[in-house]
Amino acid sequence: MTRDHASRSMIAAAFAAALLSTTASYAAEKVPAAIAAAVADAGRSEAEKARDENRKPGETIAFAGVKPGMIVAELGPSQGYYTKMLAKAVGPKGKVYALVAPANAARPNGMDGINAVAAANPNVTIMIGEFAAINLPEKADLFWTTENYHDYHNGPTANIPGLNKAVFNNLKAGGIYYVEDHSAAPDAPADVTNTLHRMNEAVAKKELTEAGFKIDAEGKVLQNATDDRTKKMNEAGNFKTDRFMLRAKRP
């Protein structure tokens, strides 16, 4: 090997190493520090952390665009799996409004989990009321709903146009409506929201755009090509379904 060839080989090797280093650094930085700390927080139970492998909360919260100081409104927080992390991610200068439907609040012990989260996080405020009548004390930077959007199509109080318009009106200009749900097959009938507890992604996009939103981004981190979308979402296992992630922006 000549000296010139050896020199070129060393330069190429150094360049490749630098490229790998840059790629590794980028991968490590995909989840911002504030979100990574929220996921790793000691206040989260082992049962909650056991669900992280399939729900990928760090990547999910990062995709939605959550940042310190934000005002976030969470639709249907259930027991507070995401509420805890959102509260930590927005930090003491941010706020989380946990919005609970009256029917869920009326269930036996239905409020125990989210009440405990609010008690441990002063920046979490619980509000109970019909979602189509949302009236926050201040406009939000982000509305958040995960694996619940299909449910809002079901029952006697279902009002998707009203819900989405209320979200639109309670968002700041440029604010984000993050919608994540279990995917239904493209040819699934309308009642799939009730029968399989899944949502047709194309229908969700149509409903959001009809409410005035623009689809800003679509996430892929929760996609699962092996999921049989003709089965009920809970037959797929603990959050092993194929899920779509939509970031809809208020212009």
| pLDDT tens profile 164-184 | 999 999 999 999 999 999 999
pLDDT of 104 > 70? The answer is: yes
CATH fold, domain 31-249, is Rossmann fold (3.40.50)
The domain locations on the chain are 1-30, 31-249
The residues that bridge with 171 in the sheet, in sequence order, are 140
From the list 8, 151, 126, 14, the residue with the least C-alpha distance to 73 is: 126
Mean pLDDT of 218-240: 92
Which among 131, 122, 120 has a CA at the least distance from the CA of 153? 131
Q: Among residues of the chain, what percentage have pLDDT more than 90? A: 85
Task: Using the predicted structure, report yes or no on whether residue 10 has a pLDDT greater than 90.
Answer: no
Interatomic CA distance for residues 183 and 76, integer angstroms: 18
pLDDT at 123 over 80: yes
Pairing of strands 124-128, 214-219: unpaired
8 Å CB contact between 95 and 139: no
What is the maximum alpha-carbon separation in the chain? Answer: 81
φ and ψ at residue 99, rounded to 5 degrees: -100, 115
pTM of the model: 0.87
Helix, strand, coil % in the chain, rounded to nearest 5: 45, 20, 35
Confidence band (pLDDT; 50, 70, 90) for 239? confident
- Considering only 115-124, 189-198, 213-222, 229-238, which range has the smallest mean pLDDT? 229-238
- Asked if pLDDT for residue 225 goes beyond 50, the answer is yes
Token duo for residue 132: 């189509």
User: Mean pLDDT throughout 75-104?
Assistant: 97
